[in-house]
Amino acid sequence: MRIHEINCSYNINSVPLTKVSSHKHLGVSPSSDLSWKSHVLSVAAKANRILGLLKRTFGRCFEGIKMGYISMFRPMIEYACPVWNLH
C-alpha cells in the first residue's frame, strides 16, 4: 500500500497549525506516516526497565515477580495493542 502525502494547511482562528512528526495521544504515539515503530520501541524500552526493576526487587521470589508482571508489565505491553497491531 502506498501512502500519498496530502498537502493541506489547517488554521485555528486564522493561525496556521504546524506539522509534527509524531504525536502522543492517550499513551499511543503514531508517526506522521502512521508507522508504529517509535511507539513500539518506546514501550519495549519502558517494559525492559520494569522487568529490571522486578528482577532487582524480587530476585528469585517467583510470587513477587509474578505479581509485578501481572500488575505492572502486562498492562503496559497490552495497552492499545489492537490499535497498533493492524497487519
At 11 the pLDDT is: 85
Strand partners, 12: 15
Q: How confident is the model at residue 86 (pLDDT cuts 50, 70, 90)?
A: low
Which helix (H) or strand (E) is 56 found in, with range? helix 37-58
- Residue 31 backbone dihedrals phi, psi, to 5 degrees: -85, 175
**Residues 6 or more apart whose Cβ sits within 8 Å of residue 55:** 65
Residues 34-46: tens digit of each pLDDT: 677 877 888 889 9
39 to 8, 10, 35, 44, 80: CA distances (angstroms): 25, 25, 8, 9, 11
**pTM, to two decimals:** 0.61
